[in-house]
């Protein structure tokens, strides 16, 4: 039995998001769906799951066929199609058991009351079946991201009538996972495929695909530009199909990163900072320097950024900028500091507002002249930012939620730079961002740094840290244990210093 989508077309006003897309999933195969930001991947998934209604086309599973516009979430569900959508599908402040119940409901006992014993038992069974290392009463936010992701997958698969077969769609399941965690997630996905599940898998981490995906379909501007078999799936080939130019041409267009080891004025200095999971962090960032923070998720990386930003109070230690302490102001961010948070949907985006409003939000002060907001100046500036950052949207007034994930990320980085901060903090700055856009974001940040800005960046992508940073500080269990720079700055060294335990236990 195969799943087939044929001639799927979907327009959003003037935007043609999908233009006659064909794709076929086969049992036992992991089918990668690739394409740049805004190429139509999530839209295709949404039409398959009935979240968006296709304009035309056909879906078929085995012998059953249906006109694509007739597919509803209920019918898609009936066909055994299960999907983990791109953005947030678990609840951090709820327990594992509550997360499993959200969506399918709790087992009920006498008088309709929730039967907690049955709920916990069901949850324990799922944890066992999916080989997840967690207990039913743990809060999701306490779990490692890969475990959390596994809970999310188990949750969408729990009510399949037929435990083998069916379709599992994963839209960027590895954003913000470390390399070792990506391997763990992949092992689980391979297990599902081996039991006959048809898997559709979206990622921008193209290097993850060779040896993992059995087939790849590449989309560009809503059209299929090609399909590759397992042996043809290589990084350079994928990039060329996604972007339309060779990887070499693309990289030579972006200026290469020169590590400048000359002494600089120290601007941002952290001494023995303690707070939350951070047990002792010391580091310094010079003018124009880009400093990375490597370490496992949970090692305190994000807390460290928040203590510099001003939204988390350090228990002890000091944070100074140009010799002046950045003192705690009851959670109010410091004026000189900007943060691109890890979770853009929850913490940084104003989804119903327009792209323009999202770019000018928090920095509207810039275009005020003599008490009036200079709309013309602001519009011109926003237009420039959209062009410079390569943001793809239907228009400047498009609601933010209609932008593809990667384009939202570019807009948030642009907004933070617009405020002309002294210190820029970035938490997973290129999650969900395609190959070309990643290079563009790196370039934007480097340009900003060359003007004297201090940059502190957290990323699970060690290649990214090596590519961007002058030096990288390794955080192990909340303590800064080493600093790597110059020729020592390699992904292998960072992995060894920051992820030693996990690598050895895989």
Ligand X SMILES: Nc1ncnc2c1ncn2[C@@H]1O[C@H](COP(=O)(O)OP(=O)(O)OP(=O)(O)O)[C@@H](O)[C@H]1O
Q: Dihedral sign for Cα 98, 102, 107, 113, please.
A: positive
Residue 447's alpha-carbon distances to 170, 257, 407, 423, 463, in angstroms, are: 35, 11, 20, 14, 20
DSSP string, 249-299: HHHHHSPPPPP--S---EEEEEEEEEETTEEEEEEEEETT-EEEEE--TTS
Number of residues that bind ligand X (CB under 6 A): 23
- Tokens in use for 19? 């233009």
- Residue list 69-108, contact with ligand X (CB under 6 A): 86
Out of Mg ion, ligand X, none, what residue 173 binds, judged by CB under 5 to 8 A for its kind, is none
72 phi/psi in degrees, rounded to 5:
-115, 165
Q: How far is the CB of 409 from ligand X (least distance, A)?
A: 8
Which one, 12 or 368, has the nearer CB to ligand X? Answer: 12
Q: Which of 15, 284, 389, 444 binds ligand X (CB under 6 A)?
A: 15
Q: How far is the CB of 86 from ligand X (least distance, A)?
A: 6
Out of ligand X, Mg ion, none, what residue 393 binds, judged by CB under 5 to 8 A for its kind, is ligand X
Out of ligand X, Mg ion, none, what residue 76 binds, judged by CB under 5 to 8 A for its kind, is none
Helices (H), ranges, 49-178? 73-78, 96-104, 116-129, 145-157
**CB-CB contact of 367 with 377 (8 Å):** yes
Binding site for Mg ion (CB under 5 A): 41-42, 86, 405
Q: Tokens 């030096």 — which residue?
A: 471
**By CB under 6 A, which span of 41-49, 253-261, 355-363, 496-504 interacts with ligand X?**
41-49
Give the span between the Cα atoms of 170 and 496, in whole angstroms: 29
All residues at 6 or more sequence positions from 142 whose CB lies less than 8 Å from its CB, including other chains:
none
394 binds ligand X (CB under 6 A): yes
Q: Within 13 Å, how many C-alpha atoms sit on residue 133's CB side? A: 8
- Residue list 428-457, contact with ligand X (CB under 6 A): 432, 434
Q: How far is the CB of 452 from ligand X (least distance, A)?
A: 32
Q: How far is the CB of 20 from ligand X (least distance, A)?
A: 15
Which one, 12 or 91, has the nearer CB to ligand X? Answer: 12
42 binds ligand X (CB under 6 A): yes
**By CB under 6 A, which span of 9-17, 142-150, 242-250, 267-275 interacts with ligand X?**
9-17
Q: How far is the CB of 87 from Mg ion (least distance, A)?
A: 9
Give the span between the Cα atoms of 332 and 355, in whole angstroms: 25
Q: How far is the CB of 396 from Mg ion (least distance, A)?
A: 21
**By CB under 6 A, which span of 227-235, 353-361, 365-373, 389-397 interacts with ligand X?**
389-397
Give the span between the Cα atoms of 136 and 139, in whole angstroms: 9
Which one, 393 or 453, has the nearer CB to ligand X? Answer: 393
Q: Which of 149, 404, 430, 431 binds ligand X (CB under 6 A)?
A: 404
**By CB under 6 A, which span of 36-44, 248-256, 379-387, 464-472 interacts with ligand X?**
36-44
Give the span between the Cα atoms of 224 and 39, in whole angstroms: 10
47 binds ligand X (CB under 6 A): no
Which one, 42 or 97, has the nearer CB to ligand X? Answer: 42
Q: Which of 3, 30, 40, 185 binds ligand X (CB under 6 A)?
A: 40
**By CB under 6 A, which span of 126-134, 159-167, 364-372, 400-408 interacts with ligand X?**
400-408
Out of ligand X, Mg ion, none, what residue 356 binds, judged by CB under 5 to 8 A for its kind, is none
Residue 7's alpha-carbon distances to 21, 54, 68, 503, in angstroms, are: 5, 10, 9, 44
Which one, 210 or 399, has the nearer CB to ligand X? Answer: 399
Q: How far is the CB of 437 from ligand X (least distance, A)?
A: 8
405 binds ligand X (CB under 6 A): yes
Q: How far is the CB of 349 from ligand X (least distance, A)?
A: 13
Q: How far is the CB of 172 from Mg ion (least distance, A)?
A: 7
All residues at 6 or more sequence positions from 43 whose CB lies less than 8 Å from its CB, including other chains:
10, 17, 18, 52, 222
356 binds ligand X (CB under 6 A): no
Which one, 341 or 405, has the nearer CB to Mg ion? Answer: 405
403 binds ligand X (CB under 6 A): yes
Q: How far is the CB of 197 from Mg ion (least distance, A)?
A: 21
Q: Within 13 Å, how many C-alpha atoms sit on residue 429's CB side? A: 35
Residue 300's alpha-carbon distances to 296, 427, 480, in angstroms, are: 8, 12, 10
Beta sheet of 423-427, edge-to-edge order: 324-325, 316-321, 266-275, 278-286, 479-485, 471-476, 290-294, 454-458, 423-427, 337-340
Interhelix angle for 405-418 vs 435-450, to 10°? 10
Cβ atoms within 10 Å of 368's Cβ, excluding its own: 12
173 binds ligand X (CB under 6 A): no
Q: How far is the CB of 34 from ligand X (least distance, A)?
A: 9
- Cα Rg of the chain (Å, integer): 23
Cβ atoms within 10 Å of 333's Cβ, excluding its own: 17
Q: How far is the CB of 318 from Mg ion (least distance, A)?
A: 41
The contact set with ligand X (CB under 6 A) reads: 12, 15, 17, 35, 37-43, 86, 392-394, 402-407, 432, 434
């Amino acid at each position: 039995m195969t799943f087939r989508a044929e001639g799927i077309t979907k327009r959003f006003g003037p935007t043609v998001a999908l233009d006659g897309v064909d794709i076929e999933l086969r049992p036992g195969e992991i089918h990668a769906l690739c394409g740049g930001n805004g190429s139509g991947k999530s839209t295709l998934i949404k039409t398959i799951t009935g979240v968006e209604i296709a304009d035309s086309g056909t879906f078929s599973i085995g012998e059953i066929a249906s006109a694509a516009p007739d597919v509803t979430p209920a019918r898609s569900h009936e066909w055994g199609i299960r999907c983990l959508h791109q953005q947030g599908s678990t609840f951090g402040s709820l327990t594992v058991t509550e997360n499993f119940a959200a969506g399918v409901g709790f087992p009920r006992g006498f008088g309709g009351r929730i039967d907690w014993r049955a709920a916990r038992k069901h949850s324990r069974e799922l944890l066992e079946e999916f080989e997840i290392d967690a207990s039913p009463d743990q809060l999701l936010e306490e779990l490692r991201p890969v475990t959390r992701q596994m809970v999310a997958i188990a949750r969408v698969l729990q009510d399949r009538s037929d435990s083998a077969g069916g379709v599992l769609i994963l839209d960027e399941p590895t954003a913000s996972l470390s390399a070792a965690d990506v391997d763990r997630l992949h092992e689980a996905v391979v297990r599902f495929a081996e039991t006959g599940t048809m898997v559709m898998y979206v990622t921008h981490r193209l290097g993850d695909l060779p040896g993992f995906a059995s087939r790849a379909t590449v989309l560009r501007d809503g059209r299929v530009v090609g399909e590759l078999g397992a042996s043809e799936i290589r990084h350079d080939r994928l990039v060329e199909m996604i972007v339309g130019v060779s990887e070499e041409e693309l990289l030579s267009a972006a200026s290469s990163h020169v590590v400048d080891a000359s002494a600089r004025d120290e601007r941002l200095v952290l001494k023995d900072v303690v707070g939350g999971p951070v047990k002792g962090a010391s580091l310094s960032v010079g003018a124009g320097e880009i400093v990375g923070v490597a370490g496992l998720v949970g090692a305190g990386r994000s807390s460290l950024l928040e203590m510099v930003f001003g939204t988390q109070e350090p228990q002890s230690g000091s944070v100074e900028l140009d010799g002046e302490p950045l003192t705690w102001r009851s959670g109010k961010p410091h004026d000189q500091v900007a943060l691109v948070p890890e979770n853009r949907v929850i913490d940084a985006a104003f989804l119903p507002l327009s792209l323009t409003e999202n770019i000018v939000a928090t920095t509207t002060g810039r275009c005020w002249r003599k008490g009036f907001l200079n709309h013309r100046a602001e519009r011109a500036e926003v237009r420039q930012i959209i062009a410079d950052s390569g943001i793809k949207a239907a228009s400047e007034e498009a609601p933010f939620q209609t932008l593809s994930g990667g384009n939202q990320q570019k807009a948030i980085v642009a907004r933070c730079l617009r405020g002309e901060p002294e210190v820029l903090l970035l938490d997973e700055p290129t999650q969900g961002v395609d190959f070309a856009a990643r290079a563009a974001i790196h370039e934007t940040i480097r340009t900003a740094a060359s003007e004297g800005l201090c940059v502190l960046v957290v990323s699970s992508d060690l290649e990214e840290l090596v590519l961007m940073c002058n030096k990288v500080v390794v955080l192990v269990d909340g303590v800064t244990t080493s600093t790597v720079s110059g020729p020592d700055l390699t992904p292998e060294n960072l992995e060894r210093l920051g992820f030693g335990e996990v690598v050895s236990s895989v």
